[in-house]
Structure 1
Amino acid sequence: MSGIVGYIGERSAQTILINCLMNLEYRGYDSAGLAISNRHHIEMRKEKGRIQDLEASIQLDPMTEGSLGIGHTRWASHGTPSATNSHPLTDENEKFFVVHNGIIENNHQLKKSLIADGYVFTTDTDTEVIPHLLAKYDTGDFKETVRMVLPMLKGSFALAIMSQSDPGTIIGISQENPLILGYGEREAFLSSDISALLSYTKEIYPIKNDQMAILKEGNISIETLDGTQVHPEKASIDWDETEFELHQYDHFMLKEILEQPTSIQQTLENRLEDGHVKLPELEAFFEEHDLHAFRKIDIIGNGTSYHSGMVGKSILSKMINLPIEVSISSEFTYEHGALDDSNLIIILSQSGETADTLSALKEVQSYGAKTIAITNNNRSNIARKADCTVCTNAGLELAVPATKAYTSQITALLLLAISLTEKLEGPGAKDIPELVDALTDLPNVVDQSLVMTQDAIDRFAQVTDDQDHLFLMGRGLDYVLALEGALKIQEVAYLHADAYAAGEVKHGTMALITPGVPIIALSTQPHLREKMVSNIRELKTRDAYVVGVTTVGDVEIGEVVDQVLYIPEAHPFLMPIVAAIPLQLLAYYAGTVRGYNVDRPRNLAKSLTVE
């Protein structure tokens, strides 16, 4: 994933674009670049590294001042991170300048043809075919040239383009990849993410497929690719730019971990009433479709969203009489079973732009399956394309490692599970009052978990000191929690962390247990505690160092482990949320102690808009 920005107005484009790129750095941070126009000439500057490296380069060697331009922060998917491969990319005569997010799927065929025509390529990127195609088919009219070239490109992409022959114009295109037009006073903005625009405008228009935004001084217009004028329905942004501020925190990851009582409360807001769940966004869907006609539910997501889906599967399986499966998006698209309109698909994506998940959504809809999206961005591609959407309302999550996205998605899945159970009169209906009460109190319980974990985190985090390997294990929902905890530790602390179902350890994994090897044993499910005690005893006979995570009052686990961390007790369905807190904080402190940038782990971006 990469970040695109554009500006036209009366202020310094360089200053505004740099600031916007700073707000998009979570989307990519291996290189960055700008193309700035003074309305007579376009100058380009690119640097490997973070936005600050580009900014420092410009301070040492100033660019031409200009009031329009485009910018890009890159996370490499084609070609290694380098100044050469960074965007903007241009043709050999530097006539067209292009910044791009997404993928040009037919770039190899296009490149081969262009090379045969004598065009010289200098990068390893798929993007470079675009300026060469614009140069090859240049009509002398910037807009018409773009119209001619766009149908040649296959894939999902967002583009911002400038031309040396028309240096007062920027053209923006969105094709299955987000690009947002922001409106200001005598100025306009482009961005692949709303977050870049919060300091400058609250009025936006998400550019749709087969549309072009044409930005000229005093004239901002939207046209379809066939030239039809579009009258955009503008929307207002309700996010607050103060969410970009670290305040007293050292990292966004810690800030977002500690925000979880609030983010969960926002997910629950106005959705619990008189012992029932209210999801107004699903009412039309429930009225239109006979829920009893559904024969199966599939839950689809990637990474942390997949782990949220695993929790959702376990809960739904206990509450309704339908087969439930959970799948990784990238696998489901190509390996799914029979699909038709009797399948209900729940799509999970924090950003709503994850390419693998978008592909899975298109695949299931091609068979007539019905879809419910759970996302944090109700203006995203997934939200727009699904039959209906439950927004988690968790607020901005700027650290690459997902924390509040995980707990808010599970909260939304619980709300959906209760709603479906009521509609289908499932066997879990008798448990709904207790579950609703537990959800009502969940923000307070999560806050307690934060307090209890922070009090013990120094001792807890010592388990990772001087370690290269770490194991996590649990049963049932605790096994899913172990998977998510291992992922966080890998992402943030670069530790080799593996998660196992506790009962499976003796079926092979026991061979890896050596004296002193650290194991985090999760035990938050009362009906599985006796089995967990037995599993821990087996590990202790091999001299493993076992740290238990369990609920207050559980003396059984405390008696068999080397160290124990206690957290508040909640309904078993909610424990994957409550017990995620110590694992998130463990990952955070393990990463910071090692000196890593926990907000921007190496080789990772916030969400992947290419497959």
Structure 2
Amino acid sequence: MSGIVGYIGKSSAHSIILDCLTHLDYRGYDSAGLAISNIKTIEIRKEKGRIEDLKALLEIEPINIGNIGIGHTRWASHGIPSVANAHPLCDVEEKYIVVHNGIIENYRALKNMLIHEGHTFTTETDTEVIPNLLAHFDTGDFAETVKKVVPLLKGSFALAIMSKSQPDTIIAISQENPLIIGYGENEAFLSSDISALLSYTKEIYPIKNGEIAILHSTGINVQTVDGKEVKPDKIIVEWDKDDFSMKEYDHYMLKEIIEQPKEIKKTLEGRLTENSVELPELNKLLTQENLQSFKKIDIVASGTAYHAGIVGKKVMETMLNLPVEVSISSEFRYEHGPLNEHNLVIVISQSGETADTLSALKEAKANGCQTIAITNRKRSNLARKADYTICTNAGPELAVPATKAYTTQITVLLLLAIVLTETINGPGIERIPEMIKELEQLPDEVEKTLIMTQDAIDQFAQVTEDQESLFLIGRGLDYVLALEGALKLQEVAYLHADAYASGEMKHGTMALITPGVPVIALSTQKHLRDKTISNIREIKARDAFVIGVTTVGDDDISEIVDEVMYIPEVHPFLMPIVAAIPLQLLAYYAGTVRGFDVDRPRNLAKSLTVE
């Protein structure tokens, strides 16, 4: 959600912190701020808006030159975006300075207690209780005070804290919320995400629950909250800073759409053999005895990952003949059916840090379920806590709208469906040779789709410039695709885009069809084509402007729509991947033609680390 950075060393702290915050602004861009220590004093600057607004403020109000500092970019969860609510926050006497990501669930009770004790609050945030608690329980020792206060906080949070009594030190805490130490040459860094650190170091350590990291000029000390020393197991990051470069593209979103053939290929590498699928990550799970004990599969995810999960459900039910249920992460923890050791629960999250999905995982494990995580971050909280993890290997995704995350997640779900079917000799076993053959060709087919559709979609996007509503319809897997296409148009182009199952239009929503309203009709599933054509005719009879998306050679659709977009024909289970490309491009170009920041949509952030 929000982004935290910190620095201690010999260089200018504020320039490094601003650079790191720039790499984290996809985590939140409601406001930004920093605190810099030159040992004698700690100064704070903060501003509403994005990092550029903070930089502009620093031109007008320069901050002192110091070698120690913390910074923050905010996505508002408590309190409106404003300078007052921006981080860093401190107590009234400015003894303690705090930047915070996450939610303090019991902040109201803590705030009431502190007010009763005479403390004054000036913001609407939950964060403000933290510096006030530190001031209230101040022992005279920075680290001991932090250790005293942390157990009082309930929720998921990451903190970086400075103290005016010890201005050469930063203390960092991570509780169910990512915060990483970066090791440099006589310097140290903090960040919510690896992406901010790659220009400075590749040697990192993710702070674990129950640990505090003390960064000072003489080194880094990690210990548990109860004082036990921890020897950090350092990790070398595999990603390179070039992976985070926009290169020749105008936006990260377009870059990540174009990267999909390469990233799907990486996701398939080492997993496809001539006649089979290998997922060594699941070796301990993949025994016939284990799998036959499962009576149901639950797939849990949020947003775009939820849509990928629905595709996985439809494929797995066909291949395995097992009931598969897909749940929204934020609902699963509170509303789910019976869970026990006979449930296999698959949780999906690009970042592996989605708070709702982590809560769902915790609920599944508490009920004795076996769990598989599908994520792009193999060292994420989700990956660490699930019984098994399959990485999508899609490289960093920095645009807030998920694109390559979606297609690689479906790719992994297809691989998983095949390997589960092979193990239990499921009813879909005869489909596997064709699926493997088509998966081998999938990167090329996605590349071909990009070539076939990009220019045409760019032109069609002009039609959306003066539109406020748009509809997408489809049947079967095409309806799932319509859901994802509508989500992309909503978040990127701010269009009131709705997805409907084609056959349901006449049961109420046909009332929304007016002359000229744009409708995207998806028809990629051959066995449903005749019914889809009938539904398109019903809409055309009401004078809608219909754009058909179908496979090469389908003249029946082209004869009844106003415009047609052709894509390559692949296996029906793979069509939600290939057909997603023109919808992603449409959202991108519609957003740009309407003048919006497609990488950073309003009110949204990339990594949703609060529930």
Length-normalised TM-score, structure 1: 0.99
Provide the residue aligned with 2:565 in structure 1: 565
Provide the residue aligned with 1:132 in structure 2: 132
Structure 2 CA distance, aligned partners of 1:28 and 1:364? 30
Provide the residue aligned with 1:313 in structure 2: 313
The answer on 1:54 being equivalent to 2:54 is yes
1:16-55 alpha-carbon deviations (Å, 9 max, x no partner):
1000000000000110010111122211111111011111
Provide the residue aligned with 1:597 in structure 2: 597
The residue type equivalent to 1:29 in the other structure is Y
**What does 1:343-354 correspond to in 2, within 5 Å?**
343-354=343-354
SS at match of 2:428: helix
Provide the residue aligned with 2:339 in structure 1: 339
The residue type equivalent to 1:299 in the other structure is I
The answer on 1:123 being equivalent to 2:123 is yes
Structure 1 CA distance, aligned partners of 2:386 and 2:458? 44
Provide the residue aligned with 2:234 in structure 1: 234
The answer to whether the Cα contact below 8 Å between 1:78 and 1:124 also exists between their aligned partners in 2 is yes
Provide the residue aligned with 1:472 in structure 2: 472
The residue type equivalent to 2:227 in the other structure is G
The alpha-carbon deviation at position 287 of structure 1 amounts to 5.0
Identical residues among aligned pairs (%):
69
Structure 1 CA distance, aligned partners of 2:299 and 2:84? 41
Structure 1 CA distance, aligned partners of 2:138 and 2:359? 33
Structure 2 CA distance, aligned partners of 1:424 and 1:34? 56
The residue type equivalent to 2:52 in the other structure is Q
Gap regions ≥5 residues in structure 2: none
The alpha-carbon deviation at position 463 of structure 1 amounts to 3.7
Structure 2 CA distance, aligned partners of 1:596 and 1:554? 35
Judged with a 3 Å threshold, the aligned counterparts in structure 2 of structure 1 residues 289 and 211 are, in CA distance, closer, same or farther, namely farther
1:318-371 alpha-carbon deviations (Å, 9 max, x no partner):
100211010101111111011101100000001101111111111111100110
Structure 2 CA distance, aligned partners of 1:356 and 1:599? 23
The answer to whether the Cα contact below 8 Å between 2:288 and 2:424 also exists between their aligned partners in 1 is no
Bigger mean CA deviation after superposition, 463-472 or 71-80:
463-472
1:262-281 alpha-carbon deviations (Å, 9 max, x no partner):
11111111111122111111
Structure 1 CA distance, aligned partners of 2:554 and 2:263? 29
Structure 2 CA distance, aligned partners of 1:218 and 1:421? 56
Structure 1 CA distance, aligned partners of 2:253 and 2:6? 28
1:465-524 alpha-carbon deviations (Å, 9 max, x no partner):
321110000000000000000000000110100000000000001111111111000000
Structure 2 CA distance, aligned partners of 1:462 and 1:37? 51
1:529-582 alpha-carbon deviations (Å, 9 max, x no partner):
011111111111111111100000001111111110001111110000100010
Provide the residue aligned with 1:273 in structure 2: 273
SS at match of 2:139: coil
The answer to whether the Cα contact below 8 Å between 2:458 and 2:585 also exists between their aligned partners in 1 is no
SS at match of 1:178: coil
The answer to whether the Cα contact below 8 Å between 2:551 and 2:569 also exists between their aligned partners in 1 is yes
The answer on 1:174 being equivalent to 2:180 is no
Provide the residue aligned with 2:447 in structure 1: 447
Structure 1 CA distance, aligned partners of 2:355 and 2:343? 22
Structure 2 CA distance, aligned partners of 1:288 and 1:205? 38
1:369-396 alpha-carbon deviations (Å, 9 max, x no partner):
1100000001111110000100001011
The alpha-carbon deviation at position 288 of structure 1 amounts to 10
The residue type equivalent to 1:108 in the other structure is R
Provide the residue aligned with 2:15 in structure 1: 15
Structure 1 CA distance, aligned partners of 2:123 and 2:289? 51
1:133-186 alpha-carbon deviations (Å, 9 max, x no partner):
000000000000000001110000000000000000000000011111110110
1:55-86 alpha-carbon deviations (Å, 9 max, x no partner):
12112221111111110000000000011101
The residue type equivalent to 1:433 in the other structure is P
The residue type equivalent to 2:73 in the other structure is T
The residue type equivalent to 2:91 in the other structure is D
Judged with a 3 Å threshold, the aligned counterparts in structure 2 of structure 1 residues 288 and 153 are, in CA distance, closer, same or farther, namely farther
SS at match of 1:505: helix
SS at match of 2:227: coil
Structure 2 CA distance, aligned partners of 1:563 and 1:455? 14
The alpha-carbon deviation at position 90 of structure 1 amounts to 0.2
The answer to whether the Cα contact below 8 Å between 1:316 and 1:417 also exists between their aligned partners in 2 is yes
**What does 1:366-405 correspond to in 2, within 5 Å?**
366-405=366-405
Structure 1 CA distance, aligned partners of 2:576 and 2:584? 12
Length-normalised TM-score, structure 2: 0.99
The answer to whether the Cα contact below 8 Å between 2:171 and 2:215 also exists between their aligned partners in 1 is yes
Provide the residue aligned with 1:104 in structure 2: 104
1:203-242 alpha-carbon deviations (Å, 9 max, x no partner):
1111000001010112211100111100111111001101
Structure 2 CA distance, aligned partners of 1:149 and 1:260? 46
The answer on 1:536 being equivalent to 2:536 is yes
The residue type equivalent to 2:27 in the other structure is R
Structure 1 CA distance, aligned partners of 2:175 and 2:286? 31
Provide the residue aligned with 1:322 in structure 2: 322
Judged with a 3 Å threshold, the aligned counterparts in structure 2 of structure 1 residues 25 and 289 are, in CA distance, closer, same or farther, namely farther
The residue type equivalent to 1:136 in the other structure is H
SS at match of 1:272: coil
The answer to whether the Cα contact below 8 Å between 1:460 and 1:565 also exists between their aligned partners in 2 is no
The residue type equivalent to 1:576 in the other structure is P
Structure 2 CA distance, aligned partners of 1:244 and 1:290? 40
The answer on 1:423 being equivalent to 2:423 is yes
The answer to whether the Cα contact below 8 Å between 1:521 and 1:549 also exists between their aligned partners in 2 is yes
The answer to whether the Cα contact below 8 Å between 1:85 and 1:123 also exists between their aligned partners in 2 is yes
SS at match of 2:341: coil
SS at match of 2:103: strand
Structure 2 CA distance, aligned partners of 1:73 and 1:370? 37
CA RMSD in angstroms, aligned pairs only: 1.0
Provide the residue aligned with 2:414 in structure 1: 414
**What does 1:122-201 correspond to in 2, within 5 Å?**
122-201=122-201
The answer to whether the Cα contact below 8 Å between 1:35 and 1:69 also exists between their aligned partners in 2 is yes
The answer to whether the Cα contact below 8 Å between 1:346 and 1:372 also exists between their aligned partners in 2 is yes
The alpha-carbon deviation at position 289 of structure 1 amounts to 6.7
The residue type equivalent to 1:183 in the other structure is Y
The residue type equivalent to 2:118 in the other structure is G
The residue type equivalent to 1:117 in the other structure is E
The answer to whether the Cα contact below 8 Å between 1:285 and 1:387 also exists between their aligned partners in 2 is no
Structure 2 CA distance, aligned partners of 1:458 and 1:22? 29
The answer to whether the Cα contact below 8 Å between 2:462 and 2:593 also exists between their aligned partners in 1 is no
Provide the residue aligned with 2:84 in structure 1: 84
Structure 2 CA distance, aligned partners of 1:524 and 1:300? 26
The residue type equivalent to 1:186 in the other structure is N
Bigger mean CA deviation after superposition, 457-466 or 369-378:
457-466
The alpha-carbon deviation at position 285 of structure 1 amounts to 2.8
SS at match of 1:47: strand
Structure 2 CA distance, aligned partners of 1:455 and 1:145? 60
Gap regions ≥5 residues in structure 1: none
